[in-house]
Amino acid sequence: MKFKLRLMIVVGALLSLGFFGMAAAQDDQPAKGAVGGLVSGAGGAVSGAPRVTLDVSSTAPRQVEDTTERAIVRDYGRAWHDMADALAQNRADLLPASFVGIAQQKLADRIAAQQKSGLETRIVDHGHNVQAIFYSPEGSAMELHDTAQLEIQVLDGSSVVNTQTVTARYTALMTVAEDRWKVRVLQETQ
C-alpha cells in the first residue's frame, strides 16, 4: 500500500515537474541561441543562409547548367534567410531582394497581419533538400520540391506561444529577375 502510494507520489511529482518544465520551456524566452544564428546574421544574406542541397538529376525538359545550379542554391538559400529575417522582424522591405510576385505579396500580407496582431514568427532553419523537377525550355523558370527541416516559433510579443519542429515540403517556383533568381511561388504541400 505504502509502495503504491509512494509510486503515485513519484509519478505525480514527475508529471508535475514535467508539465511545469514543458510549460516553462514554452513560456521562457525563445530559443535565441538557435534562432540568433540565422536571424541575427546581418552580415550578408549568403553568409547566414541555410544549407541547401540541390538535385538536378531528374530535371526536365532542359538540363540545368552548372552556373544555374550554383545560382539556384545561392539564391534559394538567400530567400529563406531573407524570409526568416522578414518574419522575425516584421519587415516586408527585406522581401523584394529574394521574392517577387505572388510569393512576395503573400509574405507581405502575413507580415502586415503579424504586425496588426502583435505576432512574430521565428524560423530556425536546419537545411533544405531540394529537387529541381522542372526547368523551362528557355531557361527562365524552375520548379523546386523542397524538404525542409525547420523549427518554427510563434511569438506573441516576447513570449513564445508555440514551437514546432517540422519536416515540411514546399513547392517553389523560381524565375529569373534582374540579376538573380527570385522565388515567385512558395507553397507548402502535403
Partner 1 sequence: MIRNIGLALLMVVVTCLLLAVGYATSEGVNRSAGTPEGAVRSLYDHVRGRDWRGAMRYVAAASNTDERTFAKDVGGSDGSLRTFSTLQDIRTTVLHENDNDAMVRANTHWSSAVGSLYDTRDLHVIRENGDWKVIWPADKSPTAPPQVMAVNFLRWDIIHRAAGDDWASQDVAAPNARIMNMNALQHDLGNGLQGVMIVGEIENQDTVPAFVSVGATLIGKNGETLGEESSFDKISHTLLPKEVSPFRIDFPGVKLSDVKKVTMQPNALLVPASADPVIAVLHQRIETDARGHKLLKGELVNQSGETVNIPHVIATYYDDSGKPIWVSDGYVDHALEPQIPVPFAVDVRDDVGPNPKFRVTVNQYSIDRQGA
Partner 2 sequence: MSAAGGTSRNRYGLAAALTALAMLMAHAAAAQQLRVPDHVVANAGATLTTSGDGSATFYLVGPGTALKREVKLGEAIELSGADLRNAGRYSAILKAGGNAQAASLLVAPAQPAAINFMARPSRVPVAAHDAISGVAFVFDDYKNLVTSPAQVTFNLAVGDAAPITRKVEAREGIAWTRLDSARKAGAAQFVASIGDTNVRRVVQQVASDPCGLRFHTAPAKNGVTVETDPVKDCSGNPVPDGTIVTFVETDGRTRSTVDARIKRGIAQAELPAVPGALITVASGVATGNEVRLGGGK
52-55 and 119-135 strand pairing: parallel
Map the footprint of partner 2 across residues 127-146, applying CB under 8 A: 133-134, 136-138, 140-141, 143, 145
Is 184 among the residues that bind partner 1 (CB under 8 A)?
Answer: yes
Interface with partner 1 (CB under 8 A), residue total: 5
Cell 529563406, located at residue: 80
Could you tell which of partner 1, partner 2, none binds residue 117, using a CB distance below 5 to 8 A set by kind?
A: partner 2
Residue type for position 63: Q
Is the CB of residue 81 less than 8 Å from the CB of residue 48?
yes
156 HSE (CA, 13 A, CB side): 5
Binding characters for partner 1, 94-113, by CB under 8 A (x = yes): ------xx------------
126 binds partner 2 (CB under 8 A): no
- Partners of residue 171 on adjacent β-strands: 145, 187
- State the Cα–Cα distance between residues 77 and 167, nearest whole angstrom: 17
Q: Which residue has the cell 544549407?
A: 51
Q: Which of partner 2, partner 1, none has residue 100 at its interface (CB below 5 to 8 Å by kind)?
A: partner 1
Q: Which residues are CB-contacts of 135 (< 8 A; sequence separation ≥ 6)?
A: 56, 59, 60, 61, 62, 63, 64, 68, 141, 142
* Closer residue to partner 1 in complex, CB, 75/120: 75
Least distance (Å) from partner 1 to the CB of residue 141?
Answer: 8
Candidates 37-45, 47-55, 74-82, 98-106; binding stretch for partner 2 (CB under 8 A)? 98-106
Q: Please check whether residue 78 is in contact with residue 50, taking contact to mean a CB–CB distance below 8 angstroms.
A: no
> What's the grid cell of residue 184?
515567385
For position 175 contacting partner 1 by CB under 8 A, the verdict is yes
Question: Footprint of partner 1 on this chain (CB under 8 A)?
Answer: 100-101, 141, 175, 184
Question: Footprint of partner 2 on this chain (CB under 8 A)?
Answer: 5, 8-9, 12-13, 15-16, 19, 23, 26-27, 61, 102, 105-107, 109-110, 113-114, 116-119, 121, 133-134, 136-138, 140-141, 143, 145, 152, 154, 156, 161-162, 164, 168, 171, 173, 185, 187-190
